[in-house]
Amino acid sequence: MQSNHKKIPAALILKNPVCFLAFGFGSGLSPKAPGTCGTLVAIPLYLIAAHLSLWAYLALTLLMFLTGAWLCGRCGQILGIEDHGGIVWDEFTGLFITLAGTPASPSVVIAGFVLFRLFDIFKPWPVSWLDRNVHGGLGIMLDDAVAGLFALSILSILLHFGLL
């Protein structure tokens, strides 16, 4: 596999359904901060899903994770790059995990976005360990899922103490 920062022709991503989804409907093609762009594109999807019952929301999030493990792994195989920086389905799922069971208010969504991005970018242990040691589609998804759980934990504390 090659470097995960190789420039990929947009047409390849946009014409291939697997990579189109893995690249977050094309948001991962952003030349700057594709992970942040992908997370931003996930917000309207979250706002739609936030109206589901908690069980339906959690089932959807689990489905996103399981589907994402296959999508991201397959797209990596297609591109010949295991974890291309433009693959952002993991960011979609990480944001959904971060916001699970929280109110869909602007302040909570913004705080969740910021917290998730911080945990995803700085990768504290065990996120960093997972990022380095678990490979393939599962590896792509797992570190962002754990970053989402960390962000959800902090967000829940902020909500519990009325800070949001």
Residue 2 counted as domain residue:
no
pLDDT band at 153 (very low <50, low <70, confident <90, very high): very high
Task: Name the packing angle between helices 106-122 and 89-98 (round to 10°).
Answer: 130
Residue 35 counted as domain residue:
yes
> Is the pLDDT higher at 49 or at 4?
49
Residue 88 counted as domain residue:
yes
What pLDDT score does 2 carry?
A: 41
Candidates 1, 148, 8, 156; CA nearest to 64 is 148
Please give the residue range of the domain that contains residue 140: 20-160
Residue 1 counted as domain residue:
no
What pLDDT score does 4 carry?
A: 60
Q: Region 122-146: what's the mean pLDDT?
A: 94
pLDDT at 91 over 90: yes
Average predicted confidence (pLDDT) for the chain: 94
pLDDT at 113 over 70: yes
Domain count, the chain: 1
